[in-house]
Structure 1
Amino acid sequence: MNTTRRALIGALATAVLLPRAAMLMAAPKPLVEVWKSPTCGCCKDWVAHLEANGFAVKVYETGNNEARARLGMPAKFGSCHTARVDGYLLEGHVPASEVHKLLKEKPKALGLAVPAMPVGSPGMDGPEYKGRKDPYDVLLVQADGNASVYRSYR
């Protein structure tokens, strides 16, 4: 076999096999478990936001008050859904970018919260809000119930 032919076969094998190997070796998507009401549309939109941003999501349509209390998220940070990912809690409309940052940085904390339901946050940004974006903070919640601003959206 001549060198040109070997080079061509090698290049073809590399072009076909390397991308496939990279796909097989890719890390699995982080799993986010979400507790929400079966009738909440904004929760459904937040779940879609997470899925579009690289998360696998398992939804429990049982409401979230019991889950929030059982998991230990203080009620003062409450919103319409509660979630858990890699040992951290998420309360409310936390942007996927902040969840990725949390999982990368791994701070010592209970998790993240966006209290209430601010318009313009993921899941609260549909066409019915006509582009309105209210300012809000993503809070880093500690096990003792204290919180600090993790990121502000203005």
Structure 2
Amino acid sequence: MNRLTTSLVLSGALVLGAASAHAALPDEATLYKNPQCGCCDEYARHLEALGVEVTIIDDVELGDIKQQAGVPYGLGSCHTIEMGAYWIEGHVPLEAVAKLFEEQPDVDGIGLAGMPIGTPGMPGPQDEPYNVYAFSDQQDEPFMTLAP
């Protein structure tokens, strides 16, 4: 096989892999946020680019939503998303969201504490590992680490 053929085969495989990962995502999501937070709107745009229709609700008590979702105390972020049967807390990289829906673990959701630079909706380069956690009933456990 020559280089061009090999490149085309590998490119095709990557495109098919990405398409199947995105196909596993639900068609709709609800994003709960503070009305003044613009980075949350940017995260919604990333989901919309994957074909997810996002409803944004910014007139709700976020603490109540986080408690309903089961987000562990101290591991919250600026927004909480209800997506399919799961909750997504904060600026979770889309690679981790795709993994959640591909594997469908028995958890309430996944999250990434704070607002790390370089995540969807947060400008700048990734300069440290993202430690995505899974959670159920306010208890967390490691889900995956994404290296810079």
TM-score norm. by structure 1 comes to 0.71
Distance 1:61 1:105, change over 3 A: same
| Cα distance in structure 2, aligned partners of 1:66 and 1:48 | 24
Q: Which runs of 4+ in 1 moved over 4 A?
A: 26-29
Deviations 1:103-125 (A, max 9, x none): 12101111110100101111112
Identical aligned residues as a percent: 35
Gaps of 5+ in 2: 1-22
Letter in 2 for 1:68: K
| Cα distance in structure 1, aligned partners of 2:141 and 2:74 | 11
Deviations 1:123-143 (A, max 9, x none): 112xxxxx4323222212233
Aligned residue for 2:96, secondary structure, equals helix
Superposed displacement of residue 58, structure 1:
1.0
State the partner residue of 1:58.
55
C-alpha RMSD over aligned residues:
2.2
State the partner residue of 1:97.
95
Gaps of 5+ in 1: 1-25, 126-130
State the partner residue of 2:146.
152
Letter in 2 for 1:139: Y
Q: Does the alignment pair 1:138 with 2:138? A: no
Distance 1:27 1:144, change over 3 A: closer
1:67-146 aligned at under 5 Å gives the runs 67-125=65-123, 131-135=124-128, 136-143=130-137, 145-146=139-140
Which structure ranks higher in relative contact order (CA pairs < 8 Å, sequence separation ≥ 6)?
2
Distance 1:140 1:121, change over 3 A: same
| Cα distance in structure 2, aligned partners of 1:33 and 1:49 | 14
State the partner residue of 1:47.
44
Distance 1:28 1:142, change over 3 A: closer
